[in-house]
């Protein structure tokens, strides 16, 4: 995965949801042209990676069949891969969608089920020798917010991620191609999300690059009592803290603003910056 990450700071992954129902950008980029234009804009804003998704994973979202998901993402990835020099990841739990996306030019798989939805995803990553993001989630998007209970959320998430990493390695994925993600907002209450961000160094201690997705999520809305459109500053605070605690990839909607946040937070932590 290192080949896709900047040497001096964490990477900024721009979100491109080709869906009618995503919690922030749902419906904005359903038309292929609009999605491709947004992808180019994300690249121009400074995205190091672009994550293209065709199925919303917001709490309670209903699932989409593989054919529909493919129709949404494959054409967009094909066009975008020709237009921008930014590696594209595909945000999907379905190996058939991931395979078609890789054929169309995506280079990374982002599986929020960590290969539990369909374990053939791990075999696919092994076969294609591509990096894969393994994320922690309780249950499925439909059920994940039904009273999540943990005794030790950080310990349980770390144990889950370690076991999914080991499973991926057993199925042939090279350890250096694995990225781990604590799954902020996926089957977690506010206190669980805060504990995971506070104790992020324990997740990073598993030895793989860590991806964190906090962008405009509801835990920020709960703290500030603000709707999704007004969570930019809260996102900035969470991004800066995630950088300080060892995140290597930050997944965000607002690439221009958050890449500035990442650069300053990282310069403070590392004492170096681009050009230093």
Binding site for ligand HH2 (CB under 6 A): 15, 17, 19, 22-24, 53, 56-58, 91, 110, 112, 133, 135, 181, 183-184, 211, 213, 251
How far apart are CB 46 and ligand HH2 at their closest, in Å? 18
Residue 2: strand, helix, or coil: helix
Contacts of residue 47, Cβ cutoff 8 Å, sequence gap at least 6: 12, 13, 14, 86, 255, 259
The pair of three-digit structure tokens given for residue 269, joined into one six-digit string: 């932590």
How far apart are CB 270 and ligand HH2 at their closest, in Å? 24
Cβ proximity to ligand HH2: between 4 and 23 the closer is 23
Cβ proximity to ligand HH2: between 241 and 267 the closer is 241
Cβ proximity to ligand HH2: between 99 and 135 the closer is 135
Residue 215: strand, helix, or coil: coil
**Four-residue CA torsion sign, 180, 109, 215, 21:** negative
The C-alpha atoms of residue 232 and residue 235 are separated, in whole angstroms, by: 5
Distances (CA, A) of 206 to 26, 150, 168: 34, 20, 14
Residue 16: strand, helix, or coil: strand
How far apart are CB 258 and ligand HH2 at their closest, in Å? 13
DSSP string, 111-129: ETTTTSS-THHHHHHHHHT
How far apart are CB 89 and ligand HH2 at their closest, in Å? 9
Cβ proximity to ligand HH2: between 24 and 117 the closer is 24
16 closest CA partner among 106, 141, 137, 131: 106
How far apart are CB 271 and ligand HH2 at their closest, in Å? 29
The C-alpha atoms of residue 204 and residue 197 are separated, in whole angstroms, by: 11
Cβ proximity to ligand HH2: between 137 and 274 the closer is 137
262 closest CA partner among 3, 8, 2: 8
How far apart are CB 40 and ligand HH2 at their closest, in Å? 19
Count other C-beta atoms under 10 Å from residue 168's C-beta: 25
Cβ proximity to ligand HH2: between 183 and 234 the closer is 183
**Angle separating helix axes 190-198 and 153-170, nearest 10 degrees:** 70
Give catalytic residues, as residue numbers: 217, 251
Cα separation of the two ends of the chain:
24
């Amino acid at each position: 995965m290192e080949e896709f990450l900047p040497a001096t700071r964490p990477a900024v992954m721009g979100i491109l949801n080709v869906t009618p129902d995503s919690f922030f950008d749902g419906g904005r980029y359903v038309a292929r042209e609009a999605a491709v234009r947004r992808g180019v804009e994300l690249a121009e804003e400074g995205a190091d990676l672009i994550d293209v998704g065709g199925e919303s994973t917001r709490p309670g979202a209903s699932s989409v069949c593989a054919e529909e998901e493919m129709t949404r993402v494959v054409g967009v990835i094909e066009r975008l891969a020709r237009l921008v020099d930014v590696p594209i990841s595909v945000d999907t739990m379905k190996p058939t969608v991931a395979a078609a996306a890789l054929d169309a030019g995506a280079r990374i798989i982002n599986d929020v089920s960590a290969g539990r939805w369909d374990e053939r995803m791990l075999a696919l990553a092994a076969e294609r020798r591509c990096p894969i993001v393994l994320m922690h989630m309780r249950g499925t998007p439909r059920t994940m917010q039904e009273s999540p209970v943990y005794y030790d959320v950080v310990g349980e998430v770390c144990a889950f991620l370690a076991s999914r990493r080991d499973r991926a390695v057993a199925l042939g994925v090279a350890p250096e191609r694995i990225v781990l993600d604590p799954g902020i907002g996926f089957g977690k209450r506010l206190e669980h999300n805060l504990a995971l961000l506070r104790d992020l160094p324990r997740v990073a201690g598993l030895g793989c690059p860590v991806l964190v997705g906090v962008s405009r999520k509801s835990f920020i809305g709960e703290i500030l009592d603000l709707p999704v459109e007004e969570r930019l500053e809260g996102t900035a605070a969470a991004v800066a803290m995630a950088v300080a605690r060892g995140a290597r990839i930050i997944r965000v909607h607002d690439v221009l603003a958050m890449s500035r946040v990442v650069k300053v937070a990282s310069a403070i932590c590392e004492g170096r910056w681009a050009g230093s």
